[in-house]
Amino acid sequence: MSSTPEIVIPASLLPADGRFGCGPSKVRPEAVAALASVGRTWLGTSHRQRPVLDEVGRLRSGLRDLFGLPEGHEVVLGNGGSTTFWDVATFGLIERTSQHCVFGEFSSKFATAAAEAPHIGDPQVVKSEPGTRPDPVADDAVDLYALTHNETSTGVMMPIARPRHADGRTASGLVAVDATSGAGALPVDPAAFDAYYFAPQKVFASDGGLWIALLSPAAVERVGAIKASGRWQPASLDLSIALDNSRKDQTYNTPALATIFLMNQQVRWLLDNGGLAWAVARSAESARIVYGWAEASDYAAPFVADAAHRSTVVATIDLDARVDAQAVSSVLRANGIVDTDAYRKLGRNQLRIGLFPAIEPADVEAFTRSVDFVVSALS
């Protein structure tokens, strides 16, 4: 598409808020207003002083409540986002051999990071085609299983469970979950993971640049054992240093204060509305709306064939060859409905939208009406 056709979507069809991106995603205006109201006392103040330590403390305890973390679990945070956490994990969590369930761009990146790290062995990779998901394979040689709660590039979600051997034994390796786009809106049992990590710019409706990891006692023990083994780790990627700082409600180096504040606003909002169960139900409602619309449409269809694997936090919708998805996205953008494009590298004639809790289900409904309007105007 070289130029965007002049199509004006009637205001009565438009969503109240046009942000449907999968990250950065919609930040609630109420959270931004709250940040503005503390602008003079919060922004531009020291991250080593009480107000910031207290806010980090509230964030850590809010996440503890949201996920129902048992005693002994730790909420750890550091700078760099989920991508950085892959490097942190290759230094501080993988002892020798990891196994990666690869079913899209994000899950493949962690596998690559592990494959390239010279200080650990070659990873095992269990791969499936985009739009589907693989199952981990229990193997005594594996000391860390890398799962992805929601593969944001394809819109496939995966239930989090410990792998089991054929004889029913639970696998002994740690379970590390990239929950970047699922955490806070997909169900999860803390007993099923050892590291559950994410970043603030998806469900937590804040900005990027931070990683947060929920660690089980077994993961904390692994961190200590690797540290004690003397393995060299860059300080900024050293999970034992991050853990020490987090226990004091600090980060190793300076964090973005606005990001922490906005994330805390979202955690509070989720808790005040009913917590994780409420958030899961709200995203599921948006998912019913968008997949129901696509199934009933004569030009759109859900990309993920198995309805049970379709993500309730990120929807991927294929369009017929006679409708140019890029043209639809450009027209939507010109009308204020932004970031509906397919994941670049997937290369499909597709729309992809976030269904995070901050997004109103009524706005998802309005999105479907707006797409119908644009498609009929284009044809």
Ligand X SMILES: *Cc1c(COP(=O)(O)O)cnc(C)c1O
Binding residues for ligand X (CB under 6 A)? 23, 81-83, 106, 148, 152, 178, 180-181, 199, 208
Q: Which is nearer to ligand X, 81 or 357 (CB)?
A: 81
Nearest residue to 108 via CA among 67, 146, 149, 164 = 146
Q: How far apart are CA 263 and CA 288, in angstroms?
A: 27
Q: Which is nearer to ligand X, 138 or 155 (CB)?
A: 155
Q: Which is nearer to ligand X, 256 or 300 (CB)?
A: 256
Q: Which is nearer to ligand X, 185 or 300 (CB)?
A: 185
**Minimum gap (Å) between residue 262 Cβ and ligand X:** 15
**Minimum gap (Å) between residue 6 Cβ and ligand X:** 33
10 Å CB burial of residue 347 (0-12, 13-18, 19+) is exposed
**Minimum gap (Å) between residue 46 Cβ and ligand X:** 25
Sign, CA dihedral 233-237-239-244, equals positive
Q: How far apart are CA 58 and CA 56, in angstroms?
A: 5
Q: How far apart are CA 174 and CA 195, in angstroms?
A: 8
| Contact status, residue 193 vs residue 175, Cβ threshold 8 Å | yes
Q: Which is nearer to ligand X, 69 or 179 (CB)?
A: 179
Q: Which is nearer to ligand X, 97 or 153 (CB)?
A: 153
**Minimum gap (Å) between residue 346 Cβ and ligand X:** 13
If DSSP codes are grouped into helix, strand and coil, which group holds residue 338? strand
Q: Which is nearer to ligand X, 42 or 106 (CB)?
A: 106
Q: Where are the alpha helices (DSSP H) in 253-358?
A: 257-273, 275-296, 325-334
**Minimum gap (Å) between residue 71 Cβ and ligand X:** 28
**Minimum gap (Å) between residue 279 Cβ and ligand X:** 16
**Minimum gap (Å) between residue 28 Cβ and ligand X:** 19
Tokens of 101: 């369930």
Which residues touch 87 (CB under 8 Å, ≥6 apart)? Answer: 113, 237
Answer left, alpha or beta for residue 230, where phi above 0 means left and psi between -120 and 50 means alpha: left
Whole-angstrom CA distances from 146 to 90, 213, 322 are 11, 14, 39
Q: Which is nearer to ligand X, 293 or 343 (CB)?
A: 343
**Minimum gap (Å) between residue 82 Cβ and ligand X:** 4
Which residue, chain included where needed, has tokens 């009565």? Answer: 12
Sign, CA dihedral 54-59-61-65, equals positive
Residue nearest to ligand X (CB): 81
